[in-house]
Chains A and B, each alone.
Chain A
Amino acid sequence: MDVELILNGEKVRVPVRRHSQTLLELLRDEVGQTDVKEGCGKGDCGACNVLLDGKAVNSCLVLALQADGCSVVTLRGLGSGEQLHPIQTAMIEHGGIQCGFCTPGMVISLAACLQENPSPSRAEIREAISGNLCRCTGYHKIVDAAESAAAEMRGEAGDRARARLL
């Protein structure tokens, strides 16, 4: 039994070990996609957040089999290494990361937010991350980073190259 995913833009076929295997388990255990974190495994924390067909969802609450044929975008699909997404850059620059565990899910939620709403208010940003728990930062700097990234993505932040959107 397997599923076909378009994982970060690439078509992959992944074996599913049990019907009850969640998308989170599949991504981490079968694909080695450890940029998706397990915080609680039951939809309370948002650390495992991915974009499933463009929508931010808790991957711990999706059966792997339900994701068959779907596009899945994880943090690395937005940016990594030399090519950081503007949200990632802004999170670093604004101190929106401490332990880093909530960060992948947080960035995914922010990416989904900015995809839909390129000029969110601080309240709208807070709403967008209201399913992502952070124990370290107190959220303010994450919201600062989101505002900054949004400006950057709108082309308002000077000479930096235009960010790749989803």
Chain B
Amino acid sequence: MLDDFHYARAQSLEHALALLEEHQPRARVIAGGTNLLVNLRGGRDRPEFVVDVSRLGDELGRIQRRDGSLEIGSLATLTDVARSEVLLADSAARLLALSAREFANPLVRNRATIGGNIIDGSPAADAVPPLLALDARLRLVSRARGGRVVRLADFYLGYRRSVLEPDELLVAIEVPAAEPRTGCGWYKLGLRQSDAISIVSAACVLTVDGDERCANVRIGLGAVAPTVVRATAAERVLTGARLDEPSIQAAGNATSEEVRPISDVRATAAYRRLMSGVLVNRTVRQALRQATGEQANGR
């Protein structure tokens, strides 16, 4: 039995923001509940007030393409994301849909929201490396100050800490539409094939230029630092370079040198260091294959 709390169901975004403003900082938002209820059960969180936004999916759960970008509502479930034709049709954003297929398990995916995964802020959060690689922007709203846009790269301050104010709600995530000749790659390493906390995860978005050199690359790495991070050393090795065996290997090696993971119940730091290089290698290859050869859409 969980400790009790006050509860209100938000009837609209405005209502949710009013409730957050009134009850901050002791309020928590519940959407899918797949993190919050686990934290409550484990005694890691004891909110006084819970604001339920789970019925705002019509307003905040859509995935759509507008002009040069794709917008994902924060209440889109991981199932919605995994199946989104809008995302799958974009040669970069499909990365998010592909990673969502391996997120937790189908029961959790039917409830967990992409916004919840971002806000929970685990360094192993599986939606975050793809979004970092996609250069995502977050739209945050409060009643007092209105809306603001924060780059995901600037969002986390440290382990499970972010710039989100107690009266703010994450309403949408925006990623730019893919450039031509762009591909993506995803690899999640876990102790089993489903329902696993990532030991290391890697997400890569790569654009090639006319000379088959790397015009642009972004790689997100999960579970190797207090927050999800970019594989900046690998990115430096690859940007502008010929995308051949030596350069990709060098990128992987640079990653292993750069990361400072911890040892925990799932893996040692040494294993994570080694695997981060392997995963960068694999995801860069995946992205390159897609960028240079195959069709962008389809599964």
Q: Which residues of A contact B (CB under 8 A)?
A: 18-22, 25, 41-44, 46, 49, 55-58, 60-63, 65-66, 109, 127-128, 130-132
Complex alpha-carbon distance, A74 and B38, angstroms: 22
Return the contact of B42 from the options A20, A42, A57 (Cβ within 8 A). A42
Contact B107 A49 (CB under 8 A): yes
The chain B residue with its CB closest to the CB of A49 is B107
Q: Are B107 and A58 in contact (CB under 8 A)?
A: yes
Q: How many residues of B contact A (CB 8 A)?
A: 31
- Give the residue of A18, A43, A128, A131 whose beta carbon is less than 8 angstroms from that of B37: A43
Assembled-state Cα–Cα distance A139/B111 (Å): 25
Q: Are A43 and B107 in contact (CB under 8 A)?
A: yes
Within the assembled complex, what's the spacing in Å between the Cα atoms of A42 and B41? 7
State whether A42 and B38 are in contact (beta carbons under 8 Å apart), knowing that A19-B7, A56-B106, A109-B106 are contacts in the complex.
yes
Establish whether residues B3 and A58, one from each chain, have CB atoms under 8 Å apart when the complex forms.
no
**A46 and B105 contacting across the interface, CB-CB below 8 Å:** yes
> CB distance B107 to A109 under 8 Å?
yes
Assess the B37–A63 pair: CB atoms within 8 A: yes
A58-B107, A128-B106 known; A20+B4 contact, CB < 8 A: yes
Flag if A131 contacts B2 (CB, 8 Å).
Answer: no
Given known pairs A57-B110, A131-B104, the reply for A19 and B6 (CB within 8 Å) is yes
Would you call B108 and A20 a contact (CB within 8 A)?
A: no
Cross-chain contact B40 with A131 (CB below 8 angstroms): no
Residues of A within 8 A of B7 (CB): 19, 63, 65
B195 on interface, CB distance cutoff 8 Å: yes
Contact status A56-B110, CB under 8 Å: yes
Minimum-distance CB pairs A-B, first 3: A131-B105, A130-B194, A19-B7
Given A25-B1, A130-B195, CB of A66 within 8 Å of CB of B52: yes
Beyond contacts A19-B4, A20-B2, A56-B107: 4 other A-B pairs, Cβ-Cβ < 8 A, are: A19-B5, A46-B105, A61-B33, A131-B106
Residues of B within 8 A of A55 (CB): 79, 110
Contact with A along B92-121 (1 / 0, CB 8 A): 000000000000111110110000000000
Instruction: Identify B30's interface contact among A25, A57, A63, A127, CB under 8 A.
Output: A63
A-contact bits for B61-93, CB 8 A (1 contact / 0 none):
000000000000000000100000000000000
How far apart are the CA atoms of A84 and B30 in the complex, in Å?
37
Which has the most chain A C-beta neighbours within 10 Å: B4, B30, B41? B41
The answer to whether B37 touches A61 (Cβ under 8 A) is yes
* Chain B hits for A132, CB < 8 A: 107
- Least Cβ distance of A117 to chain B in Å? 12
Docked complex Cα distance between A43 and B79 (Å): 16
Q: B193-207 CB contact bits vs A (8 Å, 1 = yes)?
A: 111000000000000
A46–B107 alpha-carbon span in the complex (Å): 7
Residue B50 CB within 8 A of the other chain: yes
Contact present for A57 and B107 (CB under 8 Å): yes
CB-CB under 8 A from B104, the residues of chain A are 131
Q: Which of chain A's residues has its CB closest to B39's CB?
A: A42
Per-residue contact bits, chain B 23-35, to A (CB 8 Å; 1 contact, 0 not)? 0000000101110
